[in-house]
A and B are shown apart, each in its own frame.
Chain A
Amino acid sequence: DAGITQSPRHKVTETGTPVTLRCHQTENHRYMYWYRQDPGHGLRLIHYSYGVKDTDKGEVSDGYSVSRSKTEDFLLTLESATSSQTSVYFCAISETRGSYNEQFFGPGTRLTVL
């Protein structure tokens, strides 16, 4: 998994509670991404980061915020979780190879919001 870990791997929480998912990488890659995967939708980009403190929104960013205070960590926060945010969340990194954007994925976090 290209030195990418996600924590927690599984989480069950209740509607309205805050949740933070962590992505940690060991190889000093500049670009990091958070996706969610849902049946019938494939992978959809939530937020991404192109450096420390540099982040931008993806396709489905509403209800999510991110932070990157260190190169190795990219945090995804659900300020007030809703049942529609039940999903599998994947973190990814990409190496800088010119204009290519081959990505390497973490193992995923399964989040259930009751």
Chain B
Amino acid sequence: SQQGEEDPQALSIQEGENATMNCSYKTSINNLQWYRQNSGRGLVHLILIRSNEREKHSGRLRVTLDTSKKSSSLLITASRAADTASYFCATLLLPNSGYSTLTFGKGTMLLVSP
């Protein structure tokens, strides 16, 4: 079963508007990460938030984490057409033993129109 689930599956906005994507997960995590994927390309890491953090900023990106609700949100402010991409959340679980690996959600497709 998928650990992380993004919402909405697709989002269409105009340039200059803000875009908000949400991610929910099921089990306790070490950290949560957001990635971006342009069409036909590999994923690019955007931002990482640890389980003891509540909010992080990076440029036009703002990520929040609510561990009590097991959810995170990614806000892109003042969006640009170049922000058009798919966005994925990924969770690093707390390992019982051995190595822990990232589990990715299915992604949100963001379309920013000029």
Contact = CB atoms under 8 A, between A and B. Distances in A.
Contact of B43 (A40, A44, A50, A90): A90
Contacts of B33: 101-102
Contacts of A106: 42
Instruction: Kindly state the interface size class of chain A when it binds its partner.
Output: 20 to 34
Instruction: Kindly state the interface size class of chain B when it binds its partner.
Output: 20 to 34
Interface in A11-49: 33, 35, 40-45, 48
Interface in A54-110: 56, 58-59, 90, 92, 99-108
A104 B45 contact: yes
Contacts of B44: 105
Contacts, number: 61
Contact of B88 (A1, A40, A42, A101): A42
Interface of B: 2, 30-31, 33, 40-45, 48, 88, 90, 92, 98-107
14 contacts: A42-B104, A45-B103, A58-B101, A90-B43, A99-B92, A99-B100, A100-B48, A101-B92, A101-B101, A101-B102, A102-B48, A103-B102, A104-B45, A105-B44
